[in-house]
Amino acid sequence: DSGVTQTPKHLITATGQRVTLRCSPRSGDLSVYWYQQSLDQGLQFLIQYYNGEERAKGNILERFSAQQFPDLHSELNLSSLELGDSALYFCASSGTLTDTQYFGPGTRLTVL
């Protein structure tokens, strides 16, 4: 157990819908990263937050957004969902910007 929690574990929804994925970092960790794992694209970095502020963006679609709250938990919002958004979404956290990242169990999103 890495200490990073993600909810829900599984999510099944329809095209065009909007979902929110939640991540709680390890106790004391300030940095949160979101990654997407799909069969065709592999593991890709989406976005990073550090102590409530957006730090970096990767290959994140405009339909996707995220935020980190004062209690340091983070949410990833996915809207206007398409079949191709079906993937495993991981959250990772680290204590500082340079620390090792520890991953949560992931949320499996299926878009029908």
Measure the CA–CA gap between 53 and 67, rounded to whole angstroms.
8
Q: Contact between 60 and another protein (CB under 8 A)?
A: no
Q: How far is the CB of 93 from another protein (least distance, A)?
A: 12
Q: Contact between 112 and another protein (CB under 8 A)?
A: no
Determine the size of the site formed for another protein (CB under 8 A).
25
Which stretches within the chain are classed as H helix? none
Interface positions, 7-36, toward another protein (CB under 8 A): 31, 33, 35
Closest to 86 measured CA to CA, from 3, 17, 6: 17
Measure the CA–CA gap between 50 and 87, rounded to whole angstroms.
24
Q: Contact between 6 and another protein (CB under 8 A)?
A: no
Q: Residues 10, 14, 28, 100: which binds another protein (CB under 8 A)?
A: 100
